A and B are shown apart, each in its own frame.
Chain A
Amino acid sequence: MVNPDIDFWSRVQFGFTVTYHYLFPQLTMGLALFLGFWRLLAWRTGQERYRTAARFWSVLFGLNFVVGVVTGIPMEFQFGTNWGGFSRYAGGVIGQTLAMEGMFAFFFESAFIGAMVFGEKRFSPRTLFLITLAVFGGSWLSGYFILVTNAFMQHPVGYSTAADGTLHVADFAAYLLNPWALVEYAHTMTAAVVTAAFVVASVGAFYALRGIFTEQARTFLNWGTAIGLVASLVIAFPTGDQQAKQVARHQEPALAAMEGQFTSEKGAGMNIIGQPDVANRRIDNPIYMPGVLSFLVSGSFTAEVHGLDAFPEDQWPSNIELLYYAYHVMIGLGTLFILVMALAVVQRLRGRLMTSRRLLWVLMFALPFPYIATSAGWMTAELGRQPWLVYGLFRTIQGQSPLLTSGTVLFTLIGFSGLYFVVGVLYLVLMGRLILLGPAQIHHAGTPELGGDGPAAGGPTHD
């Protein structure tokens, strides 16, 4: 019944489609925060530059949102199509939050999104702010329900086991307020803000370097770097720190693998770099900070940290190398984000940000890195959870749909790859066009091309 091939391809397919999907919602959620601030300021101060910024980014937001929606539907379907064993086992619990996401968050969010993107001329600044707030609330609520679902897989709480072995909700409050979910939510949402901050700053840097839309470039750079610095700090401490402590408490083998800690020791050091050599159970060529891992985990430089040797091998994460590198990529990039954003804020306070061309180049090309860091972070979480699908209760290999064949899954995976390639090219080309068009054009012509006709506009254009 259990077929490792199907397990492998189903995992690749889910991993690929969810990683691809999440490129879009992270910007949606982070950008919603920026839009909320700008709409608030546009309403309270009446300043045109905030209106322009909100209008411009709303249009980009709209395109990003649609791609997020269409790539999101396959996620819910795949629980049934590929992970039928898991759905049968845990559907009584995780079905709750997936249903809640649809009923509470999606209806809320998508009801107002058309109004937010195309309601510029129809609604007052105050109404526009409230509509944007609704979109913000909907998208952040949606994120919470998904993270509760994930948190249950990482650290199951609030459930009971029925006679047939399936899981059911025993305590709604415990399930919805899973301590794992709260920490994970803070960490993930901050990461979404980091992504949006880098995107906003990157577009600002592009305009500043070309010497176009100077007024907007300054707004984007100031806001992107200010919020970016705060979020980059918060993502490391306290949220990242708490997340690591949580893994140390509940997923000890995962933490040991992330850190490359093969043997238990007192006063364990933290590896900055070095290559895990799983066959010989050691880190090759490490550079490490003595005692730091013990300190981070338990607050004492001499405390004992369990290494992988403390656990039976069938509880080790199934791909230790990838887990180790994903974790270190995330940490390394996170550190660089703080440096870049801090430098930018310092230059801004000295009044030199708009003229620091080298820094502007860095900011512009920093664009992909928050996406990479977020993806690496999720790989850390999900590879660390292995070999469990529901940690400590249900193994990943038990989760597949019983009658699938690996060829079938490979076929649909290839289909997704092709389709998502096309979607990605379209997204980049169209985003690029909108950015080149710039805030001023969208301002004066009332979203040309997008405007006059079509469902995207549908709005009040009298042509």
Chain B
Amino acid sequence: MIELWYGILVLMLTAYLILDGWNIGTGVVHYALSSSPEERRLNLRALGPTWSWHEVWLISWGGTLFMAFPTIYASSFGGFYFAFFLVLWSFILRGIAIEVRNMIDDGMWRSVWDAAFWLSSTALALLIGISAANLLRGVPLDRHGDFTLPFFTNFAVHGAVGLLDWFTIPVGIYTVLALGAHGASYVAVRSHDAFRARATATARRWWLAVLVGLPVITILTGCVRGGFFAHMLTSPAAWPGLLLIAGGAVGLVVGLWRVDARWLFPAGCAVLAGLCIAAGAAMFPIMLLSTTPDGPSLSAWSCAIPHATLAATLLWWGLAALLVGGYLYFVLRHASQGVDSH
């Protein structure tokens, strides 16, 4: 039961990362992809009217984490205090930027919100990557299972660590690259003609960088968290993730070769999903790894609510998930209709 809820949380976060990831990525490449106000208009237009729907995945993930693992929720949200408030402020800025940019027909007004859109999206991608890297590396838990993270300490990855160090910074930058690539290929499949060609070219460059960077990040992770990859290879739950990464990487190579976003986009989704699933499975059952000797790591086994409640919750959650599937169908159909009207 606890494995199941852990898996649900990993999958919800994966869904968030792919769906809102393309919105964030669109913002990351807002200038790399578009050189004129007209192109920036097209770039933003790719988001469609349902962009805020994707944020709901994160909110629901937070609610579900709170429900199933309240101890993890309390410890991690308090520990990542500054990082999470920066995430919140970036969310607010991004939402406002997207919504108000076209409400006043003025070049300077739009320039301001273009910049805010790019800045908040890039900050979000960076913070998501840094947070994920902090989870991989571990946090300085005390004996009560609490921690607090300064922005940085000595940039080392053991002991009294900070938010930023030689591991988390590269992973953060890598996440900006990966989500930017994802966003560019998303824009490419949703646009036409010259702009589509331009988006595809950007997606190619960024995906190439992501593929080249993958071994580097893998080696860094191996250095920081011993036994991580051995655990990944031996836990069956990680195998679908590894398959997705392998299949997605092949698809990316084909897409790069053929200069075709119809390959790049699904292949990129597969790689991102595979990375989340494989990493989530390899971390299990540790949810918060400790970098200090005085505090034990927090595992899913010790932090979940009672078994009977988790089982009962599954009843309503399953019903809700079915309904969400229905809305997903509606949203994607509705959104894809929007594209035809260019």
Contact = CB atoms under 8 A, between A and B. Distances in A.
A95 B49 contact: no
Interface in A57-113: 63, 66-67, 69-74, 76-77, 79-82, 84-85, 87-88, 90-92, 94-96, 98-104, 106-108, 110-113
Interface string A200-215: 0000000000000000
Contacts of A423: 92, 96
Nearest to B77: A80
A393 interface: no
Nearest to A83: B74
A271 to B, nearest CB: 41
Contact of A454 (B44, B53, B75): B44
A72 to B, nearest CB: 8
B31 interface: no
Contacts of A69: 52, 55, 95
Interface in B50-97: 50-53, 55-56, 58-64, 66-68, 70-71, 73-82, 84-85, 88-89, 91-93, 95-96
A300 interface: no
B151 to A, nearest CB: 12
Contacts of A449: 102-105
A453 B338 CA distance: 11
A433 B106 CA distance: 14
B54 to A, nearest CB: 9
B48 interface: yes
A140 B167 CA distance: 45
B331 interface: yes
Contacts of B104: 430, 433, 449
A111 B48 CA distance: 12
Given A100-B320, A107-B324, A457 B102 contact: yes
Most buried by B among A90, A113, A114, A115: A114
A296 interface: no
Interface stretch (B140-148, B178-186, B267-275): B140-148
A22 B321 CA distance: 27
Given A69-B95, A95-B66, A106 B103 contact: no
8 contacts: A88-B74, A95-B305, A104-B323, A402-B146, A430-B100, A454-B44, A456-B99, A457-B49
A419 interface: yes
A84 B81 CA distance: 11
B47 to A, nearest CB: 4
A99 B63 contact: yes
Interface in A101-147: 101-104, 106-108, 110-115, 117-119, 122
Interface string A421-457: 0010010001001000000000000000110111111
Contact of B323 (A91, A108, A401): A108
Contacts of A95: 63, 66-68, 70, 73, 305
A103 B52 contact: no
Interface residues of B, number: 76
Contact of B45 (A79, A85, A455): A455
A169 B307 CA distance: 12
A408 B80 CA distance: 12
A87 B56 CA distance: 21
A238 interface: no
Most buried by B among A87, A90, A408, A461: A87
Given A99-B64, A99-B66, A117-B49, A107 B327 contact: yes
Interface of A: 63, 66-67, 69-74, 76-77, 79-82, 84-85, 87-88, 90-92, 94-96, 98-104, 106-108, 110-115, 117-119, 122, 162, 166, 168-169, 172, 401-404, 408, 412, 415, 419, 423, 426, 430, 433, 449-450, 452-462
B67 A99 contact: yes
A364 B73 CA distance: 45
A103 B103 contact: no
B148 A458 contact: no
B313 A73 contact: no
Contacts of A169: 309, 312
Contacts of B234: none
B98 interface: yes
Closest 5 CB pairs of A and B: A91-B70, A80-B77, A102-B60, A95-B67, A114-B49
Contacts of B99: 63, 66, 455-456
Given A102-B63, A103-B63, A110 B92 contact: no
A113 B55 CA distance: 14
Interface residues of chain B: helix, strand, loop or mixed (majority): helix
A415 B84 CA distance: 13
Contacts of B56: 102, 106-107, 110
B322 to A, nearest CB: 11
A79 B320 contact: no
B35 interface: no
Contact of A103 (B60, B76, B335, B337): B60
B166 interface: no
Interface residues of chain A: helix, strand, loop or mixed (majority): helix
A119 B142 CA distance: 53
B293 interface: no
B92 A70 contact: yes
A419 B148 contact: no
Interface string B312-328: 11001100110110011
B243 to A, nearest CB: 28
Contact of A111 (B53, B85, B88): B53
Contacts of B152: none
Contacts of A84: 74-75, 77-78, 146
A460 B77 contact: no
Contacts of A457: 49, 102
Nearest to A170: B309
B50 A114 contact: yes
B198 interface: no
B59 A87 contact: no
B57 to A, nearest CB: 9
A379 B327 CA distance: 36
Nearest to B83: A81
A426 B96 contact: yes
Given A84-B77, A106-B56, A415 B85 contact: yes
B60 A403 contact: no
Most buried by B among A99, A101, A115: A99
B236 interface: no
Given A80-B78, A122-B337, A455-B98, A110 B53 contact: yes
A374 B104 CA distance: 32
Contacts of B93: 419
Given A107-B56, A454-B45, A455-B51, 16 more contacts: A76-B63, A77-B84, A84-B78, A87-B66, A91-B66, A99-B60, A110-B50, A114-B48, A115-B49, A118-B49, A403-B148, A453-B102, A455-B44, A455-B99, A458-B45, A460-B337
